[in-house]
């Protein structure tokens, strides 16, 4: 049996792609409807691409995306260490969520906890040499996946232009 022909861009190609935009067709300007549909396509496509990239990297390296993001933050932090609350804020995790991620990383020997010299209430998470080696290996793996799944498909120029456009739209640009 032949595949059904997609006659409208909002007909889902993938589960979860169903756009709520078309349901708004009554009472919404056609140009606004088209803009909303483009935004939905962009948002859902980038989300799936990001999820897929991180799933591939996790499968190849055995490191969950949340763990990679924590290690990546620590490798750039002064002294390759940061207070737990700063790590939680930067990653957008709850205190409990950050503790679980750091627990897993510590069990794997990728980070260690250190008390603060100046404040007994503060605990730092510090990258170990194994953690540094891991974050570098995973970063290389992610770069390889990005080249294969993004750059090779659309070209470096488009990737660069898209990154510049998103940076202009980022409400937090320049704050950090």
Nearest to 63 by CA among 129, 109, 97, 95: 109
The alpha helices in the chain, defined as continuous H runs, are 30-61, 65-76, 84-91, 95-107, 129-146, 152-154, 156-169
What digits encode the pLDDT tens for the residues 115-164? 888 888 889 999 999 999 999 999 999 999 999 999 999 999 999 999 99
Domain ranges of the chain: 29-167
Residues 13-26 have a mean pLDDT of: 60
Contacts with 36 (C-beta within 8 Å, 6 or more apart), sequence order: 21, 24, 28
35 neighbors 24 (Cβ within 8 angstroms): no
Alpha carbon distance 71, 132 (integer Å): 8
Contact 150, 159 (CB under 8 A): yes
64-105, pLDDT tens digit by residue? 999 999 999 999 999 999 999 999 998 899 999 999 999 999
Q: What is the pLDDT of residue 86?
A: 92
CATH 1.10.10.10 fits 29-167, yes or no: yes
Q: How far is CA 76 from the centre of its chain?
A: 17
Give the pTM. 0.77
Give the residue with greater pLDDT, 30 vs 102. Answer: 102
Contacts of residue 107, defined as CB under 8 A and 6 or more positions apart, other chains included, come to none
* Contact criterion met (CB below 8 Å) for 121 and 130: no
């Amino acid at each position: 049996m032949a595949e059904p022909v997609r006659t409208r861009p909002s007909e889902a190609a993938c589960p979860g792609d169903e756009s709520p935009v078309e349901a708004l067709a009554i009472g919404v300007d056609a140009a606004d409807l088209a803009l909303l549909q483009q935004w939905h396509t962009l948002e859902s496509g980038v989300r799936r691409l990001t999820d897929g990239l991180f799933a591939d990297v996790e499968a190849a390296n055995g490191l969950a995306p949340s763990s990679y993001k924590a290690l990546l933050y620590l490798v750039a932090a002064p002294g390759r260490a940061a207070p737990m609350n700063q790590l939680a804020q930067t990653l957008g995790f709850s205190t409990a969520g950050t503790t679980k991620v750091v627990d897993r990383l510590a069990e794997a020997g990728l980070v260690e906890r250190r008390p603060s010299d100046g404040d007994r209430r503060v605990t730092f998470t510090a990258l170990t040499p194994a953690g540094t080696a891991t974050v570098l290996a995973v970063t290389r793996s992610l770069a390889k996946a990005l080249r294969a799944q993004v750059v090779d498909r659309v070209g470096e120029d488009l990737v660069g232009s898209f990154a510049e456009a998103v940076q202009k739209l980022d409400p937090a640009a320049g704050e950090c």
